[in-house]
Structure 1
């Protein structure tokens, strides 16, 4: 079992140019996408999140206000991110010994959840996005970090026990102290939006199943590259999990 803290967005995805060939809308956000991916695997989780009165999808914890919105063209050009009631996520009871979090709900909310988990002797896994919420004092609250290259440059990775570094088309690395393990991708599709979140699902799956760092990295990279062949955010993560032999 795992606790998940992260954002929930109405993802509005445009495909094509100014006059889009297609537009799809689905639930998204790294927090939601990881929750959906783990649920597809069958891993029990408690999702700490908030959606507004306008949420059109499955039932989640509603608060008064507007849901977060993420708008993107061709899965590469981000048009707008509005966090909305994600920033009003309430502090609730933690039900496991592992917390996966992003910074989508704001650094202050992450800090409160992470401190509760650490006080109980648990483990904190952080995907530090959006990285502008990062504060150096968060280093002491994290056991495992899952950044991309830009986020890795902003923070101080030497303070972490373990880093699973996302390198996009160049695969990924596991870094701990002076040790490094690299894994390249063997194939790449045209839809990158869900790849990083699918990678996060793979890391969590590997850790929960006591896989070695090398095995965990391979699972995560394979999920990420599989997601690149499917349009969408949460839909790509779910489809990658369904098609994976590792999970």
Structure 2
């Protein structure tokens, strides 16, 4: 069953140095890496590699970064529903990493994907309306995300909003969502409530349900995830797939795996466990899209957990 994902692709350009340069200063860096990024793109890759029929809606330029995107999607089995534009660039992100601490500072430029409009969404109405599961985030314009959720809901799709990066979200947009999947900091930003304990997470999730969200799933990093609906509240522990190498992209792995599991008819709680397994494997590898596990790996970890 098709999973349709709306989002942004950006090329991650990562620079590691002892410190950030001051304005007007040039310093030598220690290393550089170039790789695929963007939440929506990462989620589409995770979904496809987990066995989902993933379709990705976005915009690209006509440049080497667009070539990278198409190559990554082709290798993962993602079906692109993208337009390419020669007058604007594909998105990119500057990521500075301080060598000693690992702390980072990031500048994201969505490029042409920042122009995705409600009209662009209308042009993909048949694809969105025919989805079994539809998922989006907030890296593209909010109006586009809301219109896509409206079309998906009208078509009978299960709708997922991963509210990242955190932003103020209208109540009418939240009411279009079967599942909202923020992490702890995003939950705090959206609800104004602290999320430092499981009880606090439940209180924040209840706040989201009061906005007519059908179910809140708060991802809790090394503590797993909280599934909270009107009828049940279940803490799903994290799974151990090995030593943690890099947590970047773990949330995207969870969302992609969760969407794939829902599309194949798994019960919501089972789909959350599937998403947790997907994320657990992804953090044992560097990178975002390159770290997403294959379906056989996810099944093996779930079987091991019992």
TM-score by length of 1: 0.88
Q: Aligned partners of 1:211, 1:22: CA distance in 2, in Å?
A: 43
Name 2:125's counterpart in structure 1. Answer: 93
Q: How big is the shift at 1:106?
A: 1.2
Name 2:74's counterpart in structure 1. Answer: none
Q: How big is the shift at 1:138?
A: 0.7
Name 1:122's counterpart in structure 2. Answer: 157
Asked if the contact 2:5–2:56 (Cα under 8 Å) also holds between the matched residues in 1, the reply is yes
Determine if the alignment matches structure 1 residue 77 to structure 2 residue 112.
Answer: no
Name 2:8's counterpart in structure 1. Answer: 7
In the superposition, relative to structure 1, how do residues 22 and 204 fare at CA in structure 2: closer, same or farther (>3 Å)?
Answer: same
Q: Aligned partners of 2:235, 2:294: CA distance in 1, in Å?
A: 21
Determine if the alignment matches structure 1 residue 147 to structure 2 residue 175.
Answer: no
In the superposition, relative to structure 1, how do residues 37 and 85 fare at CA in structure 2: closer, same or farther (>3 Å)?
Answer: same
Which sits farther off after the overlay, 171-180 or 58-67? 58-67
Larger radius of gyration: 2
In the superposition, relative to structure 1, how do residues 21 and 183 fare at CA in structure 2: closer, same or farther (>3 Å)?
Answer: farther
Asked if the contact 2:60–2:90 (Cα under 8 Å) also holds between the matched residues in 1, the reply is yes
Decide which of 60, 68, 91 is 2:91's aligned counterpart.
68
Q: How big is the shift at 1:87?
A: 1.7
Name 2:267's counterpart in structure 1. Answer: 212
Name 1:195's counterpart in structure 2. Answer: 250
Name 1:45's counterpart in structure 2. Answer: 54
Asked if the contact 1:3–1:94 (Cα under 8 Å) also holds between the matched residues in 2, the reply is no
**Number of residue equivalences:** 246
Name 1:157's counterpart in structure 2. Answer: 208
SS at match of 2:84: coil
Asked if the contact 2:176–2:213 (Cα under 8 Å) also holds between the matched residues in 1, the reply is no
Kindly provide the CA deviation profile for residues 108-162 of structure 1, in whole angstroms up to 9, marking residues without a partner as x.
1011111112222332111111222522221121111111112223144122111
Q: Aligned partners of 2:271, 2:153: CA distance in 1, in Å?
A: 23
Q: Aligned partners of 2:250, 2:183: CA distance in 1, in Å?
A: 11
Q: How big is the shift at 1:76?
A: 5.4
C-alpha RMSD of the superposition:
2.4
Asked if the contact 1:12–1:25 (Cα under 8 Å) also holds between the matched residues in 2, the reply is yes
SS at match of 1:114: helix
SS at match of 1:83: strand
Asked if the contact 1:76–1:193 (Cα under 8 Å) also holds between the matched residues in 2, the reply is no
